[in-house]
Structure formats: C-alpha cells, structure tokens
Amino acid sequence: MLEFNAEIAQLLENTYQGRDITRRRHAVLECLEPALGDKIADIGCGNGMLTLELARAVGKNGKVIGIEPSLEMRKLAVERCSDFPQVEFLDGVANLLPLEDASIDKAVSLQVFEYLKNIPGAVAEAHRVLKPGGRLVIGDFEWDTWSWYSADPERMTKMMEAWDRHLVERRVPAILPDILDNNGFILEQTKALPFHDTKMAPDGLAFLLLHLIESYVINNELVEKSVANAWAEEQRELAEKGNFFFSITHFQVIARKEA
C-alpha cells in the first residue's frame, strides 16, 4: 500500500487543488447532493479538501465528520477546516467507523475502497451508520481503463504492474453493485468521469501519478531505480515533444439505504 507520509501528503496537498482532482471532487459532490443541515460522513477524508466543500454545503446547522487513519493527513485536514466549527475529525477506518447506528444522513468515500481488504465489510459499516433512506457515494478509479503511451511498452507494463501492488482491488466500480445489493443498498446510478491528458499538465492527474509511481516503485524496490527514472524521464520528454498520452476513467457509484 502507498504510505501517506509527510512527503506524499505535501505532494497531494499541492496537486489536489489542480483542475483534474478538483473536477473529480466536484463530480462526487454533485452525486452526493449535500444540503443545508445534513450530517455527512467523509470516509477516508485525507487532507480534507472534500470535507471543506461539504462543510460549506451543509452550513452551520449541519455536521461533517471526517474519518481518517493517517495522522499526517488529519493534521492537514484539521488546519484546512479550522474556520468551520461544524467539522469534526476522527481517527478511524472504513471497516470500523467511529459512529453510532443510523446517525448519518449521507456518506461519501473518495478513492478509498481500492485500498480496502474487506470491501463488503466497509459497505456494511456504511449501511449501519446511515439513516434509513440515506445516500452513499463511492468514487474510485476503474484501473482496467488505464492507458499510458510509451515508446517502450515493455517498460511501461512493468511500471504499471508494479504500481498495481499498492492497490488491494483495482476494479472497485465493477464489483460494487453486487456488494451493495447484498448489504441492503439500492444502486441508483453509476457515473463515469474520464480523464485524459496529452500535455502532462503540471496540475493534472498524470503529473501526480508520474511522481507517485516513480517514488513508490523505487522505495519498495519493485523496479530498478535506473529503470523507474528512465520511465519518468521518457514521459517528460514525450510531453515536451507533444507526444504525451494518458487516460483513465473514474466512476461515482451512487446508492441509497433501503428505508
């Protein structure tokens, strides 16, 4: 799994305000439909960017509870949301939420489920804490849609397969419908949000992944450092020449707890 240490937290802090990640965040917000006075759980809230937007949406009479196991991420989230008294952050994980039964109007989890060993257990926990009729939105990439051009396809495959090692489940959107149905949810809709980049924008998703992947495979000794460095350098050169291509699709899965 990818370790969210101080260095990674800072990288995410810088790039999660870019156009791609902002677009993904807003897509999830649109699906969740936060309303004035709602009590919402942000499961795996990370650095609190989505939590902040939720706080604005629910207003002072609402409540947003950010749940995050990483201390480094929680520190960033607490600082970001310090002007919003309706926000609370708790140490916790998706499979054991520190919340009472039927206490939440809505719950959201953005790019968390692909790291979970027990997805059915996390869905069951979301069902437990949601009020009858409550809404759940889960946003994750479908990694089978990932395409990234390289003049050295063998090396690219090696890098992509090494990056897969940080995931527990790479097909979350595909397997969720059955899991939701088995845990008392009604699947309302699955929405696709494609990302593609032909320039490697410095505030884009591809730029972020380039740095995360290079660091991850080297630090975990999954690929030789020289190979990983050469891979990253090739992508920068392709971008300079106008030959860069990256594509992946994110999905928002919208479900409702049976009343």
132 SS3 class: strand
Distance CA 78, CA 89 (A): 7
Asked whether the whole model's pTM tops 0.85, one would answer yes
Q: What per-residue confidence (pLDDT) applies to 171?
A: 97
| DSSP string covering 136-191 | EEEEEEEEEEEEE--S-HHHHHHHHHHHGGG-S-S-HHHHHHHHHHHTTEEEEEEE
Q: Is the pLDDT at 115 greater than 60, yes or no?
A: yes
Q: Is the pLDDT at 107 greater than 60, yes or no?
A: yes
pLDDT above 70: percentage of residues in the chain = 95
Handedness of CA 18, 10, 8, 202 (dihedral sign): positive
User: Alpha helix (H) ranges present in the chain?
Assistant: 6-15, 19-32, 49-58, 71-80, 119-129, 153-163, 172-182, 205-219, 225-241
Q: What per-residue confidence (pLDDT) applies to 72?
A: 87
Of 70-74, 172-176, 181-185, 231-235, the one with minimum mean pLDDT is: 70-74
Distance CA 121, CA 10 (A): 31
Q: Is the distance from CB of 128 to CB of 101 less than 8 angstroms?
A: yes
Distance CA 99, CA 80 (A): 22
Q: What per-residue confidence (pLDDT) applies to 59?
A: 97
Distance CA 133, CA 231 (A): 48
Q: What per-residue confidence (pLDDT) applies to 1?
A: 52
Q: Quote the tokens at residue 52.
A: 């902040």
pLDDT band at 84, cuts 50/70/90? Answer: very high
Q: What per-residue confidence (pLDDT) applies to 35?
A: 97
Q: Which of 31-40, 196-205, 209-218 has the highest mean pLDDT?
A: 31-40
Each domain of the chain, given as residue ranges in start order, spans 6-146+167-195+249-257
Residue 99 is given by DSSP the state S
Q: What per-residue confidence (pLDDT) applies to 161?
A: 97
Mean pLDDT of the chain: 94
Distance CA 52, CA 66 (A): 10
For 131-163, letters b (16+ CB in 10 Å) and e give eeebbbbbbbbbbebbebebeeeebbebbbebb
pLDDT band at 93, cuts 50/70/90? Answer: very high
Residues 3-62: pLDDT tens digits? 556 666 666 767 788 889 999 999 999 999 999 999 999 999 998 999 999 999 999 999
pLDDT band at 163, cuts 50/70/90? Answer: very high
Distance CA 65, CA 105 (A): 11
Question: Residue with structure tokens 């059955």?
Answer: 178
Which CATH number applies to 6-146+167-195+249-257: 3.40.50.880, 2.60.420.10, 3.30.70.890, 3.40.50.150? 3.40.50.150
Residues 136-150: pLDDT tens digits? 999 999 999 999 999
